[in-house]
Structure 1
Amino acid sequence: MPARLSNGAWSPANWARNSPGPFRVFMMCLPPHLVRFPHLSGPAPDGQVATGMLSLPVSRAQSRLRSGRDAVPTLSEPMRPSPVRVAQSQDRRYLVYLIAIALAGWSLASYDVNLLVLALPDIARDLHISSTGLGVLGFFVFGAQFMITIFAGYAMDRLGRRRVWMFCLTGTALFTGLTCLVQGFWELVFVRALAAGLAYSELAVSITIVNEQVPARNRGFLYSIVQGGWPLGVFLASGVYLVFGHLGWRFVFLLGVLPVLAVIVGRIFIRESERFEHARGTTADPDHVPVTEMLMSPGPVRRQLVWLAIVWVFYGASYVATNFYITYWLTQYKGFSSSQASGLLLACGGIGFFFYIIGGWLGEKLGRREVIIVTGILVAPLTVLFLYVQDHVAVVLVYFLLYQATNGTWSGAGYAYQGESFPTRVRGTAVGFLSAMQVMGFVVGSVLWTVMSNHGQPTLTWLVVATGASLGLWGTLCLRRIPPGQELEATAGT
């Protein structure tokens, strides 16, 4: 075999490969810098193969090159990584960076929302807010979350995902910091409504931009890591308030601004979704309005949107009982102390991070629709079982399962399913709308809980809000099946 490249140049690498047995092994084991023959870097004479000091005659038939076999890098030249491998390595690093930034953003959004819950007793005492005033505050917070999330979704399809992502987190940082300056009730309402609304819109934007940039093969699993930021935010808020709470709630809110600012800087390096840019470039009508297409045009997009909206309203309503008011229920009707109830919730949240990952992994193996179907069907029986068990250990075990069903496995698969249910041109608007429908469920559940509680029948209240509303999760059976591992363009059903 000759030792020339396709351009006729002699190559030590080719010659070493085609030398007799032991010598070939010896030559191939030498480091590259010892196998350089600069004085023989040119072509060898016809019919000969250069061997460093000698030229061995060979037949012309043997001197012919076989296409593709000898076109290999020479050892006299530095080895360069393949452009494909470089691109893959860069994409892998960017993917890790994207997941980390999205996880940090959602964790800090959770931190902001849960910090208000922890600080509310101290805030109410300092600002002399009554129970009715707290109810008004909650109403405006839910209202802001509803409206801002809808507008954020619409803006994603008009202005771009990255730009809205930056705006939402910047606004969260601004109004979280301003919380420490409020002096009256209505100032608190204004600042906290905007802070909570912008923080909650982080959910819709991260669903959209992350799902559009991660590979199809592991899309659900990777996004489940981002969703795990919610329990991390709960832990962060609890830890910060435990350590710095003695310095006052104003200081704690001000402290929360610093990590948010760091994430904002990190998002400067996040790319805009290529899918969004392509969809915007191919849209024939520059004044195209996604809302009109979704709500007015019959077809698979509208059907999927309607069923997902119904399911998420029921999910939000049942979540009020199983998560928002659960501390009250545990202390009033299950014999738990406040510290025991808090410890149970922290344990559920800490371990729950891994259930988000499990939900994402199961979604990749079985299908995300199948995971939320099984999870949704289990919630109602678990709420009934939780109502009637009284043994302390049994209550802990049942509620642990109930918590993971309504948080980890549901969220780990469900939000990635939302993202892959719609085409790129309307994905932002659709996901924003569904996030707003979840807030609507929170409002419905809170109203039902308040009305039923006034009748003094706690068992009936639980059965209506927790069990009755969770039966609506069986609507997942009507959702379209989307096999995992497909590109988003193949999953939207257009």
Structure 2
Amino acid sequence: MRWYEEISRAEKRALWSCFAGWGLDGVDTQLFSLVIPTLLATWGIGKGQAGLIGGATLVAGALGGLLAGALSDRIGRVRALQITVIWFSLFTFLSAFAQNFEQLLVLKALQGLGFGGEWTAGAVLLSETINARHRGKAMGIVQSAWGFGWAGAVILYTVVFSWVSPEWAWRVLFAAGVLPALLVIYLRRNVEEPARDRSHANGIRDKQGSVRTAASIFHPSIIRTTVVGALIGLGAHGGYHAITTWLPTYLKTERHLSVLDTGGYLAVVIVAFILGCFLSAWLQDRIGRRRNVILFAICCAVTVNMYVFLPIGDTAMLILSFPLGFFAAGIPATLGALFNELYPQAIRGTGVGFCYNFGRIVSATFPVLIGHMSNSMPLGAALGIDAGIAYGLVVLAALLLPEPTRKRTTGPAVVVSETPVPTSK
């Protein structure tokens, strides 16, 4: 941790505020998956309805990421982060008072807007605050907060359900979701807004010299970066959602493995996720963002296909769950630094939000594709092929991308006019 001693107090404050925000998001989000059985029994809703709530939250999260990215370019990173944390906390809290399925669906969707926005605003804030030599390590550590939040959700769920009856326990858990709002107090007092570079009006200019903002990510000079970045996001999320949606079903229904229902399996996956983020954090500052993404994508594709094509039992599956969680964590732990270093500061929030969240939205097609493919082939084969396509897309897109320049991301903005545009002194 010598690098940690080298960063300033302001950098440390930004690091731990983003870590806390993402970790608390992880707690609140994972709690829903844990209380689904209780909601099924208490309200008598179907699994399809429960899945609709989860899906609506994810789609809203992607939209929230897009909006928060553009908002952070307009009002600043810290203020955008404060708004998303308050929004997320408020609607998590209100979810505790839902009286029926329809109310919970709406409230969880609104919660998702803040959930997705928090990642984008926090990632841009951190990238512009941390020294370029340590940016990858900082971003990877913040990504690991999701694993700690996941573990915290399991512990909180166990404690509350041990003391409170199930019909009230889930409400207590959602009500506790208001606690992340306290982070806003810390942000207001201790985290500084990154310096804004005002060269060329801090934006991308067209031939007439007028400044363009959100639409600039599709400007001819930068659209290739935006398209390639979006494809990386699509492949990364597509592979992840393919695994999390269909792998448990495959292992239970076709392999008849029981270890999935044990706490040991969950513990292995969580620990693997955290350690994968740590390694990715260290490695991407050593070998570069692009090579790191490619390495972890290839390892994910190989591990998934080992799962579905090798004849494994409970013990082997438990062992393989570690590399699966480990390698799956390495890609998102890299995306924050990778996407941030692709864009000039004026449109960075918009660019990062688009690349990351476009993939989240469109990646919903991958689980659907597996379902259709499984009508004409074994589910395991469909899963292996689909995951291979998703992670292969990550590799191919990353190969089309030059290695981002690791400089302070408050550097000069990009000017795309044919002649230099004079700036006022």
> TM-score, with normalisation over the residues of structure 2?
0.86
Aligned partners of 2:236 and 2:394 also within 8 Å: yes
Partner of 1:167: 83
> Is 2:276–2:325's contact at 8 Å kept on the other side of the alignment?
no
Structure 2: distance between partners of 1:225 and 1:261 = 22
Change in 2 beyond 3 A, CA 1:194/1:279 = farther
1:273 lines up with 2:273 in the alignment: no
Which of 370, 377, 391 in structure 2 is aligned with 1:470? 391
Mapped to 2, the partners of 1:412 and 1:232 lie a distance apart of 14
Structure 1 residue 319, shift from structure 2 partner: 0.7
AA at the equivalent of 1:395: M
| Aligned equivalent of 1:186 | 102
Shift of 1:145: 1.6
Structure 2 CA distance, aligned partners of 1:349 and 1:366? 25
Contact 1:175 1:192 survives alignment (8 Å): yes
Q: CA deviation at 1:197?
A: 2.5
Greater RCO, CA 8 A, separation 6+:
2
CA contact (8 A) 1:330 1:336 kept: yes
Q: Deviations over 1:142-169 (max 9, x none)?
A: 3312222211111111111111100100
- In 2, the alpha carbon distance for the partners of 1:199 and 1:125 equals 27
Corresponding residue for 1:23? none
Q: Give the equivalent residue in structure 1 for 2:419.
A: none
* 1:419 maps to which of 335, 340, 346: 340
- The question of whether the paired residues in 1 share the 8 Å contact of 2:77 and 2:193 is answered with yes
SS at match of 1:276: coil
CA distance in structure 2 between the aligned counterparts of 1:347 and 1:119, rounded to whole angstroms? 21
How much has 1:392 moved relative to structure 2?
Answer: 3.4
Quote the Cα distance in structure 2 between the aligned partners of 1:274 and 1:366: 27
Correspondence for 1:446: 367
CA displacement, residues 378-413 of structure 1 (integer Å, 9 cap, x when unaligned): 222222111122143432333321221111x22232
Displacement of 1:279 after TM fit? 6.2
AA aligned opposite 1:477: L
Does the 8 Å contact 1:160/1:272 carry over to 2?
A: no
Q: C-alpha distance in 2, partners of 1:261/1:439?
A: 25
Q: CA deviation at 1:255?
A: 2.1
- Please give the alpha-carbon distance, in whole angstroms, between the structure 1 residues aligned to 2:414 and 2:295: 23
Report the counterpart of residue 132 of structure 2 in structure 1.
216
Q: For residue 175 of structure 2, what is the aligned residue in structure 1?
A: 254
TM superposition score normalised by structure 1: 0.75
Residue 354 to residue 99, structure 1, CA distance change in 2 (3 Å): same
Per-residue deviation, 1:95: 1.9
Question: Structure 1 residue 218: deviation in Å?
Answer: 0.9
Q: Deviations along 1:32-88, whole A, 9 cap, x unmatched?
A: xxxxxxxxxxxxxxxxxxxxxxxxxxxxxxxxxxxxxxxxxxxxxxxxxxxxxxxxx
Which of 115, 118, 125 is the matching residue for 2:34?
118
Looking at structure 1, the residues matched to 185 and 272 of structure 2 have their Cα atoms a distance apart, in angstroms, of: 30
2:404 aligned partner: 482
Q: Per-residue deviation at 1:321?
A: 2.5
Pairing 1:238–2:158 present: no
Give the deviation of 1:493 after TM superposition.
7.7
165-174 vs 194-203, greater mean Cα deviation: 194-203
Report the counterpart of residue 198 of structure 1 in structure 2. 114
Paired residue for 1:336?
257
Partner of 1:79: none
3-state SS of the aligned residue for 2:331?
A: helix
- The whole-number CA distance in structure 2 between the counterparts of 1:194 and 1:244 is 25
Equivalent of residue 290 in structure 1, options 213, 219, 222 = 213
The equivalent of 1:148 in structure 2 is 64
Q: Quick one: distance in 2 between partners of 1:191 and 1:107? A: 21
Counterpart mapping for 1:24-423 below 5 A: 92-246=8-162, 247=164, 248-258=169-179, 260-276=180-196, 278=198, 282=202, 288-295=211-218, 297-299=219-221, 301-337=222-258, 340=261, 342-389=263-310, 390-407=312-329, 409-423=330-344
- The percent of aligned pairs where both chains have the same amino acid is 22
How many residue pairs align between the two structures? Answer: 401
**AA in 2 matched with 1:392:** D
Checking the alignment, whether the CA contact within 8 Å between 2:259 and 2:265 is kept in structure 1 is no
Residues 1:471 and 1:309: Cα distance change in structure 2 (over 3 Å): same
- Structure 2 distance, partners of 1:454, 1:269, is 57
Q: Greater Rg, structure 1 or structure 2? A: 1
Q: For 2:99, what is the secondary structure of its paired residue?
A: coil
376-385 or 418-427: which moved more? 376-385
What amino acid is aligned across from residue 193 of structure 2 in structure 1?
A: S
Which deviates more from structure 2 when the two are superposed, residues 325-334 or residues 195-204?
A: 325-334
Taking the aligned partners of 1:433 and 1:287, their CA distance within structure 2 comes to 23
Runs of 5+ consecutive residues of structure 2 not aligned to the other structure: 416-425
Q: Secondary structure at the match of 1:181?
A: coil
Q: Quick one: distance in 2 between partners of 1:454 and 1:245?
A: 40
CA contact (8 A) 1:314 1:470 kept: yes
CA distance in structure 1 between the partners assigned to 2:78 and 2:391 by the alignment = 35
- Cα distance in 2, alignment partners of residues 460 and 90 from structure 1: 49
State the distance in 1 between where 2:225 and 2:202 align: 24
Distance 1:311 1:339, change over 3 A: closer
Match for 1:398: what amino acid?
L
Query: Do 2:84 and 2:117's aligned partners in 1 also have CA atoms closer than 8 Å?
Result: yes
Alignment CA distance shift 1:287-1:261 (3 Å): farther
Q: Distance in 2 between matches of 1:349 and 1:159?
A: 36
Distance (Å, rounded) in 2 between the aligned partners of 1:215 and 1:385: 39
Residues 261 and 386 of structure 1: CA distance in aligned 2, closer, same or farther (over 3 Å) = same
Distance across 1 between alignment mates of 2:61 and 2:327 = 24
Residues 383, 196 of structure 1: CA spacing in aligned structure 2 closer, same or farther, 3 A cutoff?
A: same
Q: Which moves more between the two structures, 469-478 or 203-212?
A: 469-478
